[in-house]
Structure 1
Amino acid sequence: MDTRDLLLEAYGRIPPLVRAAVDGADEDLLAARLDPEGNTVAWLVWHLTRVQDDHLSELIGAEDVWTADGWAGRFALPLDDAETGYGMDAERVGLVRAGADLLTGYHDAVHERTTDYLRTLSGDDLDRVVDERWDPPVTLGVRLVSVLDDDLEHAGQAAFLRGTLERR
């Protein structure tokens, strides 16, 4: 298995987790919390997708799918279009309300762009420095693994949260 196939396999594990977390759930369930300060399923899925979209768009030098393809308008969230959810407080987390179809539609669009990009990579590409603001500088490989890790973590949290909420 080469690097490209490994990354495609790993990123391919995210959409089924997203679907498990949101498919068949109504907007109220997706916006419910276990605790007043907690995250919601909708926020977790929106956030993991926004982060992937934001980071990938920076890597390829393109506008986010969020704005380029009109997802920001479809979601109509009372947030700045550049928002990814990083560092949001509980009040702002609660502003992210969306139905399952909207969440999976946006996620699918970002996933498609991601896999299209991953198919272009070779192992040598992963050593390219993409962010010199850190010490040590961040390589493409490290950035892709970081996004993957964040997405899988949040998708797992969303699936767990939904299951817990449905059993209450």
Structure 2
Amino acid sequence: MSIRDLLTDAASRPLDAARPVFHGLTTEDAHRLPGGHGNSIVWLLWHAARQMDVQTLALGGGESVWRSGGWADRLGVDRGERDFGFGDSVEEVASLHVRDVPALGDHLAACIDALTGYLATLDDAALDEVIDDSYDPPVTRGTRLVSIIDDAAVHVGQAAYARGLLDGWRAAV
């Protein structure tokens, strides 16, 4: 298996992990803040997709999935093209309301498709290219891609955990 194939496989996994979160999920529960102050399921899934979209756009250029897919209107979320919730306060997290919760899965899938499409254009030399030398060690394209995938996996996992906190829900295995 090539490195690119491995990254593509890893990038696709957050969608598989997110699917059970949606099963039987009510709009009310999707927007609930665990403990009254944690990130809601909708915020976590929205952020997982948005950070992927924003960072893929930064690496590859072109148009964001957010804009090209009309996701702001489809989800009913009034956030800018480069906004992915980094640094959101509890109030900002609580104010993120998604009109069509199941469509969050479609949005995540579209962002994963954009990322895996971008990955398909890369060779090993592109993965080794330093894209940010403000860090020590400098960040390569491959390292940034792992970071994007890891962030999505972590936030989808948090959404699954938050889903599990709801009234005795158990994941189907």
In 1, the alpha carbon distance for the partners of 2:154 and 2:127 equals: 22
Identity of paired residues, percent? Answer: 36
Tell me the residue number matched to 1:31.
31
Tell me the residue number matched to 1:14.
14
Deviation string, structure 1 residues 49-81 (Cα, Å, up to 9, x no partner): 000000001111122111222111222324344
Contiguous gaps of at least 5 residues in structure 2 = none
Alignment of 1:6-155 (within 5 A): 6-98=6-98, 99-155=100-156
Contiguous gaps of at least 5 residues in structure 1 = none
RMSD, aligned α-carbons: 1.7
**Structure 1 SS opposite 2:131:** strand
- Does the CA contact (< 8 Å) of 1:24 and 1:100 recur in 2? no
- Does the CA contact (< 8 Å) of 2:72 and 2:79 recur in 1? no
Deviation string, structure 1 residues 93-124 (Cα, Å, up to 9, x no partner): 01222233220111111111111111222222
**Structure 2 SS opposite 1:85:** coil
**Structure 2 SS opposite 1:145:** helix
**Structure 2 SS opposite 1:113:** helix
**TM-score, normalised to structure 1's length?**
0.91
In 1, the alpha carbon distance for the partners of 2:17 and 2:104 equals: 12
- Would the alpha carbon gap of residues 129 and 165 (structure 1) be closer, same or farther in structure 2, given more than 3 Å must change? same
- Does the CA contact (< 8 Å) of 1:21 and 1:158 recur in 2? yes
- Does the CA contact (< 8 Å) of 2:49 and 2:107 recur in 1? yes
**Structure 2 SS opposite 1:13:** helix
- Would the alpha carbon gap of residues 23 and 119 (structure 1) be closer, same or farther in structure 2, given more than 3 Å must change? farther
**Structure 2 SS opposite 1:94:** helix
- Number of equivalent positions: 168
In 1, the alpha carbon distance for the partners of 2:26 and 2:132 equals: 39
**21-30 or 130-139: which moved more?**
130-139
**Structure 1 SS opposite 2:102:** helix
Q: CA deviation at 1:165?
A: 1.4
